[in-house]
Amino acid sequence: MHVQLFLLAALLQAAQGDARRAAAAPAAYAVPAAGVPLSLARERAARISGLRYEVSLHIPADPSTRIRGEEVVRFTLSDASRPLALDFQPGAESVLDVDVGGRPANYDVANGHIVLPPRWLKRGENALRIRFLAGDAPLNRTAEYLYTLFVPARASAALPVFDQPDLKARFTLTLEVPKDWRIVANAPERDRLDGDSTTTVSFAETEPIPTYLFAFVAGKWSVETAQRGGRTLRMFHREKDATKVARNRDAIFDLVDRSIDYMERYTGIPFPFAKYDFVLVPSFQFGGMEHPGAILFNASSLMLDESATQNQKLGRASVIAHETAHMWFGDLVTMRWFDDVWMKEVFANFMAAKIVNPSFADVDHELRFLLAHYPSAYEVDRTAGTHPIRQELANLDEAGQLYGAIIYQKAPIVMRQLERLVGEAAFREGVGEYLAAHRYGNATWADLIAALGRHTRENLTAWSRVWVEEGGRPTIRVTLTRDARGRIASLALTQADPAGRGRRWVQPVALTLVYDKRTVRVPVRLDRALVDVPAVRGLAAPDLVLPNGDGRAYGRIVLTPEDRAALLRRLPDLPTPLLRGAAWLDLHDALLDGQVEPAAFGALALRALERESDEQLTQRILADLDDVFWRFLAPPERAALAPRLEDTLWRLLGRASTTSARAAYFAALRSTATTPGTLDRLTRIWAGEMTIDGLPLAEQDLMSLALQLAVRGRPDTDSILAAEERRIHDPDRRARLAFLRPALSADPAVRDAWFDALRRPENRQHEPWVAEGLAYLNHPLRAEHAERYIRPALEMLEEIRRTGDIFFPKRWMDATLSGHSSPAAAETVRRFLAERPDYPPRLRQIVLQSADELFRAARLSAAGTAEP
């Protein structure tokens, strides 16, 4: 139990001269621990109902001036015999006063809670009036705008609330802002009053929503309005380039409209909120955030440049569909506790795939699903730091650490299997019943499994245990024997539990036999340790067998040495992009396991690129090529491959038929260029002395190019960055470059100082900038010098978790370790963990996830040097 006995008397000394608190008689009672412990949440959910907040805030333009607020909290209490804690993290000096029924109440402020003694509470209806100074931490204030980001339990870092997802409330918001500011909130605007220098706007009452979805955005925003499907949609943005806005706006509104329409038809439930406004936030921490009526998106993933790749267009459609699907999954029906946060994420991704598909008719969606989910899920699930989809959570202040690839990428794979297991129509019915039964309320994973269980004879509880309640993936192998005539005598599919606990991952797979001119696909239900496949007996023995021929099997697929050799020869000739994609992932796993030589993998990648017609697969290959080039090839091997690599990329860039393909090849060149010839050519392109036919370069592209040139450490590094900063027009981008410049300096002392400055939280405010700078600081070309940053970066991780947004600890670690592959770097990480047996388990997982490729690369390079 995380409850401390707290002496009020001790608090009184700490309180800053509040007469009413001082007047209270010293009394001892329990104050909940910091954060929102599960026990506190349960206790409050059992006592409180009919919750409403009326919130008024006076927001000054100057982000350093505190925001004054007043709030009326109304609720029905079933038990008034015990104290009641609201969550408010800013602390005692930020609470101005608390009134109950017009009378000043005494209260206690400790551990991020405001605690009211029972004498101020009554059974039945209660109303508290609290005046306070809002905390700034989750408000993202700048001189020009602010936006709230309260997920998962950060509303209480700004306002006094019951900060838990199952105390849904109706919010009424009034904001006073500088006169030229615009405001977006969850509900529609109701009244507006213009003063001399300020405007006061009040909004209608919201539907019942949890605190993590309560949101507002204010500031200098431009707005685009459109009518779609009888609904007014509004897009708020800060893009100064009118042509860019004009080029993107209709596509964005259409994607929103299509997503709403699909969700209404799939669920049978009309759009559940009063309006759909959305905001394109520059350098937003996430891809998007699903506040009803005030959805936030990362501006750069919606406002695309002319050179946008097909992946970027698909990514845009997916993120819009994802956030829209949340209006039903997460917003209308909310998880009871954040241990089920994955459910809303999986459904949003799962629905996004369904929504996006019809809009991209010429895309291979099976391949898209494979490439969008499996590599990222494996990236975590293959590591020693993996974890179950559903994780226990004792306190909401740890909720941020639940998010990651296991939720975003593995869970959709698992959900798709669940749909296959239950059947598409039955699945949809079960889901519809589940949403209707819990609308505007809360539900758990068990509620969904129960709803689906009514539509199937499968044992969903057993299935859920291995796929959802535990982490890891099975090792899948094929054993084939031939008879005397070279035909298949027997073929079996096996699965093994790498943890040695005998778990079985039930899944339908499609075994694919590859012959010279044809393939044979055999569906198999992999539900035991060994599944014999009698159907193929007597067939001619194939050139190779893939257990994941339809791209669906989930696991570490271990090919025989013969099959690996066959793939290294034949992969580019396999008949379909899906088969090539699935085989590519198998080979990539083999590379990481040390079963394929990095140089052979790199050479295969170049041959595959020459032949590959599918753009998605091309992009996957380019990404893995980049990774093998920087991470797995020793410097002499890298130098040996570089001329051929660059030559291939220039040639493919020259003959590519679409802008998006050209952009992908150019990005790969920019990232892997090392020879003087290519660097000179790229420098001339950056300087505007050369252009690339059919590839217009936007300000963003040129800036990335300047950064990549700078990290090569040629003598003109600092002048390139200085010139780049002078020519950038966009103020947000110019500020980003100014921030990054020292991290790229040719002078190691300047880079050291930049890293040292990150020790102060105020220098880590723009987290995407920090991650970008860290990745350049630890670039493979500078890895040797950068080894000194690894240990302090690890030492800062606990503080990063406390001060940063939820994805930041993982990004911090990823960026720190991304450029390293030496045994010494791996040893630094191992020693750090070994010295700390009591290190927080979730942070240990993050470190082990981020360090996985480093460990593998270090192992390979150690093995390589040991050879004669």
Binding site for Zn ion (CB under 5 A): 345, 348
Nearest approach, Cβ of residue 331 and Zn ion (Å): 10
Nearest approach, Cβ of residue 604 and Zn ion (Å): 36
Nearer to Zn ion, 348 or 668 (CB): 348
Chain position whose Cβ is nearest to Zn ion: 348
Nearer to Zn ion, 351 or 541 (CB): 351
Q: Residue 657, Cβ neighbours under 10 Å: how many?
A: 9
Q: Are 207 and 170 in contact (CB under 8 A)?
A: yes
CA dist 10 and 412 (Å) reads: 50
Which tokens belong to 648?
Answer: 């291939």
CA dist 133 and 70 (Å) reads: 9
Nearer to Zn ion, 67 or 348 (CB): 348
CA dist 531 and 519 (Å) reads: 21
Nearest approach, Cβ of residue 330 and Zn ion (Å): 7
Nearest approach, Cβ of residue 402 and Zn ion (Å): 12
Nearer to Zn ion, 297 or 666 (CB): 297
From the list 701, 639, 641, 706, the residue with the least C-alpha distance to 679 is 706
Nearest approach, Cβ of residue 335 and Zn ion (Å): 12
Nearest approach, Cβ of residue 347 and Zn ion (Å): 9
Judged by DSSP in three states, 145 sits in: strand
Q: Which residues contact 831 (CB under 8 A, 6 or more apart)?
A: none
Nearer to Zn ion, 348 or 617 (CB): 348
| C-alpha dist (Å) from residue 330 to 269, 438, 448, 798, 864 | 14, 11, 13, 29, 50
Nearest approach, Cβ of residue 212 and Zn ion (Å): 12
From the list 520, 597, 612, the residue with the least C-alpha distance to 565 is 597
Query: Which sign does the torsion angle of CA 220, 151, 49, 448 carry?
Result: positive
Nearest approach, Cβ of residue 296 and Zn ion (Å): 11
Nearer to Zn ion, 209 or 667 (CB): 209
Nearer to Zn ion, 351 or 493 (CB): 351
CA dist 589 and 592 (Å) reads: 5
Nearest approach, Cβ of residue 290 and Zn ion (Å): 6
Nearer to Zn ion, 407 or 697 (CB): 407
Report the DSSP beta bridge partners of residue 846: none
Nearest approach, Cβ of residue 856 and Zn ion (Å): 30
Q: Are 627 and 666 in contact (CB under 8 A)?
A: no
Nearest approach, Cβ of residue 787 and Zn ion (Å): 36
Nearest approach, Cβ of residue 286 and Zn ion (Å): 8
Q: Which residues contact 252 (CB under 8 A, 6 or more apart)?
A: 235, 302, 316, 320
The per-residue b/e assignment along 676-685, b for 16 or more CB within 10 angstroms, e otherwise, is eebbebbbeb
Nearer to Zn ion, 53 or 328 (CB): 328
DSSP at 25: P
Q: Which residues contact 505 (CB under 8 A, 6 or more apart)?
A: 466, 467, 473, 474, 495, 526, 554, 555
Q: Residue 5, Cβ neighbours under 10 Å: how many?
A: 8
Nearer to Zn ion, 121 or 151 (CB): 151
Nearest approach, Cβ of residue 241 and Zn ion (Å): 28
Judged by DSSP in three states, 325 sits in: helix
Nearer to Zn ion, 100 or 348 (CB): 348
Nearest approach, Cβ of residue 274 and Zn ion (Å): 21
From the list 635, 697, 632, the residue with the least C-alpha distance to 667 is 697
Nearer to Zn ion, 90 or 330 (CB): 330
Nearer to Zn ion, 176 or 345 (CB): 345
Q: What is the DSSP string of 774-788?
A: HHHHT-GGGHHHHHH
Nearer to Zn ion, 35 or 152 (CB): 152
CA dist 832 and 851 (Å) reads: 12
Q: Are 349 and 818 in contact (CB under 8 A)?
A: no
CA dist 175 and 198 (Å) reads: 10
Nearer to Zn ion, 252 or 411 (CB): 411
Q: Which residues contact 306 (CB under 8 A, 6 or more apart)?
A: 247, 659, 696, 698
Nearest approach, Cβ of residue 166 and Zn ion (Å): 19
CA atoms within 13 A on the CB side of 583: 30
Spatial strand order of the sheet with 124-133 comes to 103-104, 95-100, 124-133, 68-77, 48-58, 170-178, 198-203, 189-194
Judged by DSSP in three states, 168 sits in: coil
